[in-house]
Amino acid sequence: MVSTYAIMPAAGHGRRMGAVQPKQYLEICGKPILIWTVQALISHPHIAGMVLVVPAGDEVFVQSLLKEHQIRGHIRVVAGGLTRQASVAAGLSALPDDCDVVLVHDGARPLVSSEVIERVAKAARFGAVTAAWPIHETVKRVVDAVVVQTVDRSQLWSVQTPQGFPRDLLERAHAAGGDGEEATDDCALVERLGETVRVVLGAPENIKITTPADLSFLKRWLSAEETTPSESDIENECPRMGIGYDVHRLTPERPLILGGVEIPFELGLLGHSDADVLTHACIDALLGAAGWGDIGQHFPDNDPLYAGASSLGLLRQVVSKLHQRHLYIGGVDAIVIAEKPRLAKYIPMMRARLAEAMDVPSAKVNVKATTNEGLGFLGRQEGIAAQAVAWLEGSKRRR
């Protein structure tokens, strides 16, 4: 049987967070970030044990945290180095002899899901692998505050952790990379050997907590989980229904985006994100069905993290969280209310984009468009509104 261990580098000081203490010790919803992350890994059935790499001198303190929060499992706490690469190397040297596969996971990524860990652990038996998430935003190369190139994002992925490796491969990579340029992750060291690194799907919420905005996101996410029903309660209550409504003002010099599709029109919708009113209504309907409040609670319009954000990206985050709680989309029916432009020819693309973000077949997403017959602010073409109804099913009904 393959024995898989985790190395968790947590020896950094998190200067970008602006806090006095290292960010991994900041307490969120009753626990330090580090404890949330350790729990996610050590509780997974594929993980036989862990080497936790902390700042030199903090070993006893971290052991006391593990005891205080009743963390059980085979965990060895060791001192790290001055760099992430040195800390992972210290973790490698502390692994037991029977370890076959190694997962390296950042101590500041507490929202890693069981599904992501499993995907990486299974793939790592056959070679180097990393969790990653496709980039959906437009990417530009900038020099001296001037755009010099719009980058083709179709092949760009944002790399996450865990990253997994056969033990001997990771040891060879670190041995060869010890005298070279500092690597930003362990896959980079493996790439230098000429070895293939494969990618498995991560999750949009699996962010590294680096800035105060990330910390705010983590607080909202964990607070929502505390009020989430248990899996058995969910299955007993399914199907669950929710409704969503949103409206945005039309304004010049903004793109008009509906259901993730940019519509040619002289006016666009005003908003903090991309103002995709159709996708916002769908998000609200899904959140309502789950009993998780509304879109403003999860993605506040005064949070700079979401300035210009892709609404489809926000939708993907909600769907990922639904799946973690064993909730699956049974169907969505939505309607856009707009005098202009005519939307009929764009509806198939809207359905396809929404279905992809919701991880369901297009047949489960219906989109309609109508006018307001010239009445009210919608009739005067001052804005566009959307409504949606969504229903969720428990895991036993997913298929």
Q: What are the residue boundaries of the structural domains of the chain, listed by start?
A: 4-201, 227-397
Complete DSSP assignment for 342-392: --GGGHHHHHHHHHHHHTS-GGGEEEEEE--TT-HHHHTTSEEEEEEEEEE
Round to whole Å and give the CA distance between 283 and 275: 13
pLDDT at 398: 38
Round to whole Å and give the CA distance between 375 and 212: 45
pLDDT at 39: 94
Query: pTM of the prediction?
Result: 0.61
pLDDT at 226: 60
pLDDT at 397: 43
Q: Which CATH number is correct for 227-397, 3.30.1330.50, 3.40.50.880, 2.70.98.30, 1.10.1060.10?
A: 3.30.1330.50
pLDDT at 278: 98
CATH superfamily of 4-201: Spore Coat Polysaccharide Biosynthesis Protein SpsA; Chain A (3.90.550.10)
In degrees and rounded to multiples of 5, residue 90 shows phi and psi of -65, -40
Q: Count other Cβ atoms within 10 Å, centred on residue 57.
A: 8
Per-residue pLDDT 10s for the chain (399 aa) are: 789 999 999 998 755 555 567 889 999 999 999 999 999 999 888 899 999 999 999 999 999 999 999 998 899 999 999 999 999 999 999 999 999 999 999 999 999 998 899 999 999 999 999 999 998 888 999 999 999 999 998 889 999 999 999 999 999 999 998 666 889 899 999 999 999 999 999 998 999 999 898 998 898 888 876 655 555 555 556 688 999 999 999 999 899 999 999 999 999 999 999 999 999 999 999 999 998 889 988 888 887 778 888 999 899 989 988 887 888 999 999 999 999 999 999 999 999 999 999 999 999 999 999 999 999 999 999 999 999 999 998 754 433
